[in-house]
Structure 1
Amino acid sequence: MKLLIHRDKLIELLINQEDTTGSYTITVEDHGKKSLIVDNINGEPVTIEGTYYLANLLQETALLNEETGVVNLEHVFEAPVTRLSRVIKDYYWDKLTRSFDDDGLLEVLEDEKMQGDYLRLYVPESDINALQFYKKKTEKHSHVKVEAIPENISKELILALNQKPGILSLAYSQIQGHSRPFVVPGGRFNEMYGWDSYFISLGLIIDDKFELAQSMIDNLEYQIIHYGKILNANRSYYLSRSQPPFFSSFIKEMYTAYAFDLPEGWLKQKLCTAITEYFNVWMTKGVRLTENGLNRYFGEGQGAPSETEPGHFDAILKIYAKKHNLPLEEFKAKYDDKQLIDEDLDMYFVHDRSMRESGHDTTNRLDGCSAHLNTVDLNSLLYKYESDIAYFIEHCFDDNFTFKGETFSSKDWYERANHRKGLMDKFMWNKEMGCYYDYNFKTQEQQPCSSASNFYPLWANLCSQEQANKLLNHLPEIAFKGGIVSTARLVMLPEDMPDRQWDFPFGWAPHQMLIWEGLENYDFHEKSQELIYRWLWLIVKTAVDYNGLIPEKFDVFHCTHEVNVEYGNVGTNFKYVPDGGFGWTNASFKLGVKLLDEKYIKLLNAVTDPDVIFK
């Protein structure tokens, strides 16, 4: 059943009748008629009633490419799970895909974060073909500058680039004559992010977007080869900062799904790159490897991070201004110009940069201490990294793998993983509490905090079944109606500190996904099903009530996307149709639906309250 409609006229009618809040969307907050009668293509009247179905009609109409066209009523009346699954696969991934080819380059460069008179694209000087390609492509754009970055990326270079920030190029194929596309998180995040890319690609693989997922991993590999690490994102001011290490996990997901589709030599090449990242980024003593043999996040660089908004650090800077008996603005000016030195404040920014490298930007769990912590999440990820490399060597390379003249067996890497597990049990496992906690190697004490990151050992298959059973007892501390919260409610926070988006009551897609899979690893199926349902219910409820909206994060305690917190909530502002949703939230929906038992899908389509199901 179909409608033959005039796109602009129907949009105008829907907005005028239903959008009483002036948002260019149809939501539960609007107080329109909530009903519209239209004639189908055979001239028969069809009644469309309710926020959800009217919003679907608005979206389907807005998606028409021509002024007059046909709207499929099956799409208008789709069940929510079916609809979200379809639009993510057929529309949202494409909407979030970027490239550096032709007009795509300007789409990446021309965003709110660019500064100065020129749009700058930085290309590694070692990638000669790409450098020539981009210079030729941008000849007609006088406001675009293509500049080379030397192989030796020094602290001095990074500081200099902060004065003229720009985008860093990604993989370029000389044979195909174009850059490799990538998927961005969405909203103001118009570049490729490190750990986002892994979670996004789980969704791409589920939707069988083979070429796009392959391109994503090629772009991450390019960063390791040419920029020395997988970057926080491909902007010049992120050159000093990596993100949580998921590269080996990405390789394993790709190989498991597409072993027979990948080119010959693909796995060996990617494994060599993974080992390079492991040693050069994570196992460098005094940087991210600490004396006790465990690892920390460590964002290099100096001063306040360049990506923060004006006034972000005022609550902290007021403390130091008072210490130096100066007005806030005068203190900031003198500190920025290095007229005034304060080593404690310098160290605070080292911790802040390290916190941002963890991906948890920001959280009071890591504020002011991150560079002194061996965190449970990072060391679990590196255990998984070591285990993955051992697995590949054992099962795909006859237990013999040569890297830069050194021969490895699986035993070498299993020993590394087991050694790390022993250190984590020694320093991080709290026998009395039955939980892993971050370890402060400066104070030589655990830092007890109920956090989603304490459950990473389940996902990494690191802990024993006995430890897993004890960890499960702590799940109620962070599990709420809408899913997993980043940290439990913290008490005794400093005055004037901003609410931080990786703290209570906010929940994020990666934590949900890691904990679901971790629970399944240890046969806690019923609990994983409950948590999957709670998160998917919140996504579906939000999409049904708010014109298909899929945001960056949720308040999982109050079960809403409306948050009053630093940076707001990305993905919530759009006109008629969601602008691609949000990358890893899309992916969490795809993974959740894949893992959820069929008996819950019908309940999810009816948006049945989880507290009714899981009493």
Structure 2
Amino acid sequence: MSINGCIRCLSVILLCFLLIRCAPEKAQNLEYSSVLESLVNQEDTDGDKKITIDDKGPKKFEFIDKNGESHNIEGTYYLSNLLQELAIVAKDDTISIERITEAPSARISRLIKTRFWDNLTRSIDKNGLEKVLEDTKSDTDTLRLYIPFDDKDAIRYFQSLTKEYKKLKVVILPKKITPEYVKTLNSKPGILNLAHTKQDENYQGIPFVVPGGRFNEMYGWDSYFESVGLLIDDREDLAMAMADNFAYQIKHYGKILNANRSYYLTRTQPPFFSSLLVEIYQENPQVSKDWLASNLKMVIKEYETVWMKNGVRLTNTGLNRFYGEGIGMPPETEEGHFDFILKEFAAKHKLDLDTFKNMYQKGEIIDEELSQYFIHDRSMRESGHDTSNRLDDICADLNTVGLNSLLYKYEIDIAYLIKNVFEDSFEIDDKQYTSQLWLKQAEKRKGLMNTLMWNEEKGSFYDYNFSAQNQTQIESATNYYPLWVGICTQDQANRLVDNLFENLVQKGGIASTTDISNTASVDAPQRQWDYPNGWAPHQMLIWRGLHNYGFASQNQELVYRWLWMITKNAVNYNGTIPEKYDVVQCTHKVYAEYGNVGTEFDYITPSGFGWMNASYQLGMSFLNNELKEKLNKLTDPDEIFNKRNQ
């Protein structure tokens, strides 16, 4: 037997042992362990603990169930479903033939609703501590939990747990958190505490949903898109919990963080808190008025103190930018990520690369040009688009269409909630707010965006470089956020949609950008937020924008293209639901920085990927029945719609 064959056999034996250990009380299930072993030996020819189109088995398997009935399973999709059901049989009484033969879209949607959301849910308390503090991004045995100086309940609670959890180290943050302080934490990374409840000495962390895979922290804009899926799947409880965690971060850390990890303390993310509140209210108008009031206060605080602070994220144009504060290289990047740029500076200082990096990180070399590069880089990461050639070495100089669209929506959302929930009067610290105040601010922003960002000749919005005083004129999915937030006239919307289909729509959906690859350096990373990749948040916002402006047929096409690509990959690759896709080749096999989270699992994906799950549920809510039937048959979108660029 080959080495690979031995490894496969050992893997099967180990899985069978775990199944027996996990469910000894269900001895009647143990007969399926031999079925699993036979299936894997026959069909998993590449030994990756999945059955995919890359395997070379006969793609035909017969087994006998507990009732003595024989079943013949044929084809990659059905065999991988059988593998998945066998992997979870210890928790079920029987193998369900109906689930093995389930229509692909129904199976994906069901697993998202009943399995994936729960598997992605975390809480920072005793029950959730071990999972949350599993720090695959740290090479030390110490598990650090950073707690705000004024969260006395959390400090007492977690300090009491240090006797039980010897690796747990509780660190109390200072009252004032500066970039200089945050830099000192780079060698001592850890998780930042989140919201909680406390009743009768019973401390419970308020749950949150993580993106997936290696992540055990709550990410900023991911959380909004995940909440869209949660609300569709009747998980209002988790969507409200996400809002509470947003509010905690604003109260204690001054902003909604890039993620609740120590090295993100100086960075926020694209603002979606107002959208989350409005959608929770619209889903349930009977939601507690007190709850809405407490969270709306935090939305307004974030708007005023994070986004509208002169000289930081508010610029002299009256529009906003991303501005990630911090010092030195962002510590979360992969080893060697910046080598393509650092080589130039090492040569400038007549040093070898490693010596230069070491001295720069220690502050022994000060280079203003390089420091400015990292200001742009951290700002790009704050934008959520980490990374893109659209923003590299320029981000902090841009009033972006995306950010200013989102802040316009903050203004109209706040006005909507004040008018509809609080009878057009909302008070914070003796200051009165009315809907008209916020609508006036929104109109001002719309005017500035039309003046500086709208290009009449091209019929599109573009990011505005306030330093150079010109538009960047790069085609990006974020240029179409005005459709979602309602800034456009109908004529502008018509022209935007024409441009969208001309420039960004590919066979598998909307690409993040046109091809803006950096050809200046062969060492430059393949930016994951650029062509040919497509991402769930862009699809979701543009779908809703098309819906808002009455582009029904165009919306159906774009939803179908995206869902077809997800479904096709899941059918061919053992249910894989990853972080991102190449929408040109229509594959999850993406060769870019950071890989593709959600593709590594054994037998059955436990959780998919957060906003990808949400995009599937939202897409299914849009798609008409005729196209749903075609989706389950995996009908090529180019057979239904006009053929896109290949």
| TM-score grouping bracket, smaller chain normalisation | over 0.9
Q: Is 1:607 aligned with 2:631?
A: no
Match of 1:98 in 2: 122
CA distance in 2, matches of 1:107, 1:121: 13
1:83 matched to 2:107? The reply is yes
Give me the CA root mean square deviation. 1.4
Deviates more, 1:38-47 or 1:88-97: 38-47
Task: Compute the displacement of 1:259 (Å).
Answer: 2.4
2:268 pairs, out of 235, 242, 248, with: 242
Cα pair distance change 1:575/1:145, threshold 3 Å: same
Match of 2:11 in 1: none
Q: Percent identity?
A: 54
1:403 has 2:447 as partner:
no
What secondary structure, in the 3-state scheme, does the structure 1 residue paired with 2:95 have?
Answer: strand
1:257-296 equivalent positions in 2, closer than 5 A? 257-260=283-286, 262-296=287-321
Task: For 1:209-358, list aligned pairs within 5 A.
Answer: 209-260=235-286, 262-358=287-383
Amino acid at match of 2:555: S
Deviation at 1:90? Answer: 0.7
Q: Does 1:478 align with 2:504?
A: yes
Measured after TM superposition, the shift of residue 337 of structure 1 is 2.1
SS of corresponding position for 2:90? coil
Residue deviations 1:260-289 (CA, integer Å, cap 9, x gap): 2x3341111111110000001100000000
Shift of 1:117: 4.2
TM-score w.r.t. length of structure 2: 0.93
What's the CA shift for 1:163?
A: 2.7
- For 1:419 and 1:6, the matched residues in 2 are separated by 69
Alpha-carbon deviation of 1:196?
Answer: 0.2
CA offset at residue 538 of structure 1?
0.5
- Matches for 1:120-269 after TM superposition, within 5 Å: 120-175=144-199, 177-260=203-286, 262-269=287-294
Secondary structure in structure 2 of the residue aligned to 1:498: coil
- Opposite residue 158 of structure 1, the aligned amino acid is V
Q: Which AA in structure 2 matches 1:146?
A: V
Please list every run of at least 4 consecutive aligned residues from structure 1 whose deviation after the TM superposition is greater than 4 angstroms: none
Query: Residue type of the partner of 2:236?
Result: F
Q: What is the CA-CA distance between 1:540 and the residue it aligns to?
A: 0.3
Give the C-alpha shift of residue 111 in structure 1.
2.4
Quote the Cα distance in structure 2 between the aligned partners of 1:225 and 1:583: 25
Worse-superposed segment, 472-481 or 351-360: 472-481
Q: Any idea what SS the aligned residue of 1:173 has?
A: strand
| Residue ranges of structure 1 left out of the alignment (5+ in a row) | none
Q: 2:590 maps to which residue?
A: 563
Structure 1 position 511, deviation (Å): 0.3
Q: Residue 525 of structure 1 is aligned with which of 544, 552, 576?
A: 552
The question of whether the paired residues in 1 share the 8 Å contact of 2:273 and 2:299 is answered with yes
- The CA deviation at 1:92 is 0.7
The count of residues paired between Structure 1 and Structure 2 equals 611
- What's the CA shift for 1:88? 0.6
Matching of residue 579 in structure 1 with residue 603 in structure 2 = no
Change (3 A) 1:407 1:237: same
Aligned counterparts of 1:608 and 1:530: Cα–Cα separation in 2: 13
Cα separation, 2, equivalents of 1:487 and 1:51: 33
Deviation of 1:492 (Å): 6.2
Q: Please tell me the residue identity of whatever aligns with 1:128.
A: K
Which of 455, 477, 481 does residue 430 from structure 1 map onto? 455
In the alignment, the residues of structure 1 paired with residue 498 and residue 345 of structure 2 have an alpha-carbon distance, to the nearest angstrom, of 41
- The normalised TM-score by structure 1 is 0.97
Residue 251 of structure 1 deviates from its aligned partner by 0.3
How far apart are the structure 2 equivalents of 1:444 and 1:580?
45
Provide the rounded CA distance (Å) in 2 between the counterparts of 1:213 and 1:491. Answer: 37
CA contact (8 A) 2:146 2:172 kept: yes
Indicate if the aligned counterparts of 1:151 and 1:226 stay in contact, CA closer than 8 A: no
Q: Could you tell me which residue of structure 2 aligns to residue 56 of structure 1?
A: 81
Contact 1:158 1:240 in 2 (8 A): yes
- Between stretches 101-110 and 476-485, larger displacement belongs to 101-110
Partner deviation per Cα, 1:160-199 (whole Å, 9 max, x = no partner) = 2223111001111012531111111011222110000000
SS for the counterpart of 1:70 is coil
Query: SS at the partner of 2:94?
Result: strand
Q: Structure 2 regions of 5+ residues with no counterpart?
A: 1-27
Q: Measure the CA separation in 1 of the matches of 2:460 and 2:179.
A: 38
Task: Give the match's secondary structure for 1:190.
Answer: coil
The question of 1:545 aligning with 2:572 is answered yes
- Residue 108 (structure 1) aligned with residue 135 (structure 2): no
Q: Distance between the aligned counterparts of 1:362 and 1:73, measured in 2? A: 44
